[in-house]
Amino acid sequence: MSFKNKVAIVTGGGQGIGLALCERFLKQKATVVIAEVDSKSGSLAEKYLSAQGNVQFIETNIAREKSVQSLVEQTVKRYGRIDFLVNNAAISCNKAIFAITFAEWKKVIAVNLSGAFLCSKYCADYLKKSQGAIVNIASTRAMMSEANTEAYSASKAGIAGLTHALAISLGPEVRVNCISPGWIDTNQYLHTPNPALAPMREADHSQHPAGRVGLPGDIAEMVIYLCSEKSGFITGQNFVIDGGMTKKMIYG
C-alpha cells in the first residue's frame, strides 16, 4: 500500500496520537500537513518528521473559520490537492457541572466538534475531486463516562453523529469514518513528558481484555486502512479501538 503523490491533513498533529498518525502517513509515502494550534509542538513535530518524508506544519486554530480556510488555501496552493483529512485535534475541561463555565463548555465544543465540521466543510470540494476520505477521531467517552466529563463526552458523541451525516452528504466520492480510541498511552509521542501521565502498571494492562493498554500505533493502523482502497465499501462507521473495555462487564 502506498499513498505516493497523495496529501493528508492531520489536525492536532503536533504530538500524541496526531503525531503518530503523521508518522504513519509518511511511511506510506504521503505528503503530510500538520495542522496544529501550538506553534512549538507543531515546529518540533515538523523537525522530527522531516527526515521521514515531505511534511509541512501550518499553524491552525480549527475553532476559527478563517484559520481553517487559510489552512486549506495554503495546502492547495502548495500541493494542489487534498486526499485525506484526519480530524484529530481535541481539548478537554473536566470540571463538575456546577463549576464549569459556559465559556469553557463552548470552547471544548468549538475545538472538538465545530473544528471537525469546519475542516470537513472546507476540504470537502477537494476531497470529492480526489475521491478521498475523512477519518474523525472520537472517543469511547462518546459511549461511556467518568464524572465531570460532560463537555468532552458530548463533543465526542457529536463527532460520531457528524461522521455518519458527512458520509451520507459527501458519498459516494468521499468516504467518512470514525475511530473511538479507549485508553491510549501517548507518552512516547510527547515532546515533553507529562507528569500527569504515570508509567503504565501491570494492573492497567491486565484490566483490558486484550491484555494491554493501547498505543498510538493501534489507532494509526486503522486510520491508514480507512484511507486506503482496501476499505472502499466502508463508510459512516465508528470503530471502537479500546482493547475490549467497552464490552467488559464490571460489578463492584
Q: Taking the domains of the chain in order of start, what are their residue ranges?
A: 7-247
Neighbours of 77 (CB within 10 A): 8
Kindly tell me if the per-residue pLDDT of 238 is higher than 80: yes
Q: What is the pLDDT confidence band of residue 134, given thresholds at 50, 70 and 90?
A: very high
* Summary mean pLDDT of the chain: 94
Residues forming a β-bridge with 175? 133
In CATH, 7-247 is 3.40.50.720: yes
CB 151 within 8 A of CB 96: no
Crossing angle for the helix pair 16-27 and 216-227, to the nearest 10 degrees = 50
Neighbouring C-alpha atoms within 13 Å toward the C-beta of 56: 15
Out of 152, 189, 225, 251, the active site residue is 152
> Has 189 been annotated as catalytic?
no
In this predicted structure, the answer to whether residue 227 has a pLDDT above a threshold of 90 is: yes
Kindly tell me if the per-residue pLDDT of 44 is higher than 60: yes
pTM for the whole structure: 0.95
74-78, 131-135, 185-189: segment of lowest average pLDDT: 185-189
How many Å is the Cα radius of gyration of the chain?
17
Contact criterion met (CB below 8 Å) for 110 and 152: no
